Amino acid sequence: MRQYEITAVYRSNAVEETKNAFKETLAKHSVTISTEEDWGTKKLWHPVDGQENGFFNFFKCQAEPTVIEKIENEAKINQNILKAMVIRVDG
């Protein structure tokens, strides 16, 4: 298992349902969440899908490297996730 940090940006009008759906996706792929932080609604640098603002959610977690691509693909499919970024943390 490797350490990862995931930052996801959700549409502001569907925060709770999107957050729960994304956490279910992580659980489905056996990702262990050690820290979760809500960073709140922030103005985006540029509009994404016509949205000026997004709700930022941050996770520190452990996962097998083979599931990261699956998680990224599922985040792209979900219409309420504007962006998702996964970073491997060495340590």
Query: CATH no. for residue 54?
Result: 3.30.70.60
Q: Going residue by residue through the chain (91 aa), what tens digit of pLDDT does each one get?
A: 899 999 999 998 889 999 999 999 999 999 999 999 999 999 999 988 888 999 999 999 999 999 999 999 999 999 999 999 999 998 6
Domain of 59?
2-89
Q: Distance between CA 21 and CA 16 in Å, rounded?
A: 9
Name the residue with tokens 């759906």: 21
Q: Distance between CA 55 and CA 90 in Å, rounded?
A: 27
* Structural domain total, the chain: 1
Phi first, then psi, for residue 24 (nearest 5°) are -65, -40
What single DSSP character describes residue 12? G
Report whether 38 contacts 59 (CB < 8 A). Answer: no
Report whether 79 contacts 45 (CB < 8 A). Answer: no
- Kindly report whether the global pTM for this prediction surpasses the value 0.95: no
